[in-house]
Amino acid sequence: MKMTLKKKPNVNKSPLPLQLIDLKRQYLEYKKEIDTQIQGVINNSFFIMGPQVKQLEEQLAQYVGVKFAVGCSSGTDALLLALMSYAIQEGDEIITTPLTFISTGEVIAFLKAKPVFVDVNPETYLIDQKKIEKAITSKTRGIIAVDLYGQCANYDEINAIVHKYNLFVIEDAAQSFGAEYKSQRACSLADIACTSFFPAKPLGCYGDGGMIFTNDEEKANIMRSLRIHGMGKDKFDNVRIGLNARLDTLQAAVLLAKFKHLPKEIKLRNKVANYYNRHLNKKMITPKILNNNLSVFAQYCIRVPDRNALQKHLHDHDIPTAIHYPIPLHLQKAFSYLGHQSGDFPNAEKICLDILALPMHPFLKQSEQNFIIDTINSFYSA
Ligand SMILES: *Cc1c(COP(=O)(O)O)cnc(C)c1O
C-alpha cells in the first residue's frame, strides 16, 4: 500500500532565528575561500608571524591609503601599542569620548595616564570637536577620537586643534574599517589609526585581532618591535619593554579571504541601513550620517522613547538587540577614581538611556527587515 505523505500545513512563520550579526551566514557564503585559507596555514604550520600576516598588512595599508600597517592581537592592543609608541606615562592626559567601548579609556588608564572626557555631539554621537579646546591643559599629550557605530569623527577640525597645540591624534577605527570621510578611508585620518578584527566588527576574524596604520615609519617600527617583546634585530635581542601582541597567522588568513568581499558588504550594509531609515516609524531617531561620510554601520542604532520596554518587546518576538553603551565611561565603576558624576557629560548620558542597536549585517533579508520594522512600528502605534 502506498503511504500518503500529508503535506505539512504552511504555518506563517516569522523568518527566524534572527541574529544581530549573522557570522554563520557569512561563513556559508565564503566557506570555500575561508576553508582553503585556513587549511593553507595548517599545511605550512607557520602559525606565528607567517607570510599571511605581512600579506594582509600590505593589502590593508594600500586599501586605506597609508604607508605602514602593523597587525596585532586586538583592537585594544592596537590602541595600547599606539599610546606606547608616544611613551605615554603617569601624569599625561589624553582626551577622549565617554561614549565608547571600555578599551578606548582603559588603555589610557592602563599606562597610568588620565582619560579626560569631552561630551559628544547630540546628533552624531561623535566627540564634539567644539568642546575639545576647553579640555586641553599643559599635561595634554593627545586625543583618541572614536569612529562610533561606523561613522568617522570630524578629523579636519580635530587635526587642526591638534596641530595648534602640538598634540597627536589616534583614530579608534575599531568600528569603522572601510568607512570614508571626505573621500578618504577610515584608518588614514589621524597620526595613528587602530582597528579591531573582533568577529562582530565590519571586518572580523575568527577570534581576536587588530591592526595599526600610520604614515610615520619610525612609529611603525617602534610598534612592530613592541608587539614582539620589544624585539630588536632578532628574536633574542630585546631593546625595549614590550608585549606579546602579534596577529595570529590563522586570523590573518581568515581576513585575507573575507577582505575581498568587504566593498560589496559595505554596500549591502548601507542598503540595509537605508531600508530601516525609510520604513521605521517617525517616533524614533534614526542615525545621522554627515554629508561627507560613508558609514559602515558597525551598529545600526536608533533612539527611542521607552527603550527598555521596546527591547523586551523585541526579545519576546525573537528579535535580538543590543545597547551600545548602557553606561558611559565616566560613570563606570572602573573610572570612579576620576570623581565624575551623573550630569558631567549629559549628551553621552542621555544617549546611553535611549539608544538601541538593531540587527545589522550584509546578509539580512528584506523579509527579515520587514518583520523587525513591523514589530517596532506596531509597538509604538499600539
Ligand atoms: C571593539 C572596540 C575596541 C576594542 O577592540 P578589541 O579587538 O575587542 O580589543 C576598541 N574601541 C572600540 C570603539 C571598539 O568598538
Cα separation, 150 vs 159, whole angstroms: 19
**25 exposed, middle or buried (CB, 10 Å; 0-12, 13-18, 19+)?**
middle
**254 exposed, middle or buried (CB, 10 Å; 0-12, 13-18, 19+)?**
buried
| Ligand 1 atom 1 nearest Cα | 174
Ligand 1 pocket residue status of 194, Cβ below 6 Å: no
pLDDT tens figures, 40-80: 999 999 999 999 999 999 999 999 999 999 999 999 999 99
Q: Is the pTM of this model over 0.85?
A: yes
Which amino acid makes up residue 86?
Y
Ligand 1 pocket residue status of 175, Cβ below 6 Å: yes
Ligand 1 pocket residue status of 195, Cβ below 6 Å: no
| Ligand 1 atom 14 nearest Cα | 174
For residue 245, how far is its CA from the centre of ligand 1 (angstroms)? 15
Task: Sketch out the chain's domains with CATH numbers.
Answer: 29-259 (3.40.640.10), 261-381 (3.90.1150.10)
Cell of residue 245, nine digits: 601582541
Count how many Cα atoms sit within 13 Å of the Cα of residue 300 in the half-sphere of its side chain. 26
pLDDT tens figures, 97-109: 999 999 999 999 9
Ligand 1 pocket residue status of 242, Cβ below 6 Å: no
Q: Could you tell me if 294 and 189 are in contact, meaning their C-beta atoms sit under 8 angstroms apart?
A: no
For residue 104, how far is its CA from the centre of ligand 1 (angstroms)? 8
Considering just the CA atoms, what is the radius of gyration of the chain in Å?
A: 22
How far CA 237 is from CA of 51, 220, 225, 229, in Å, comes to 22, 18, 10, 9
Residue count of the chain, please give it: 382
Its sign, for the CA torsion 92, 196, 256, 261, is negative
pLDDT in tens, the chain (382 residues): 445 554 444 444 555 689 999 999 999 999 999 999 999 999 999 999 999 999 999 999 999 999 999 999 999 999 999 999 999 999 999 999 999 999 999 999 999 999 999 999 999 999 999 999 999 999 999 999 999 999 999 999 999 999 999 999 999 999 999 999 999 999 999 999 999 999 999 999 999 999 999 999 999 999 999 999 999 998 899 999 999 999 999 999 999 999 999 999 999 999 999 999 999 998 899 999 999 999 999 999 999 999 999 999 999 999 999 999 999 999 999 999 999 999 999 999 999 999 999 999 999 999 999 999 999 999 998 6
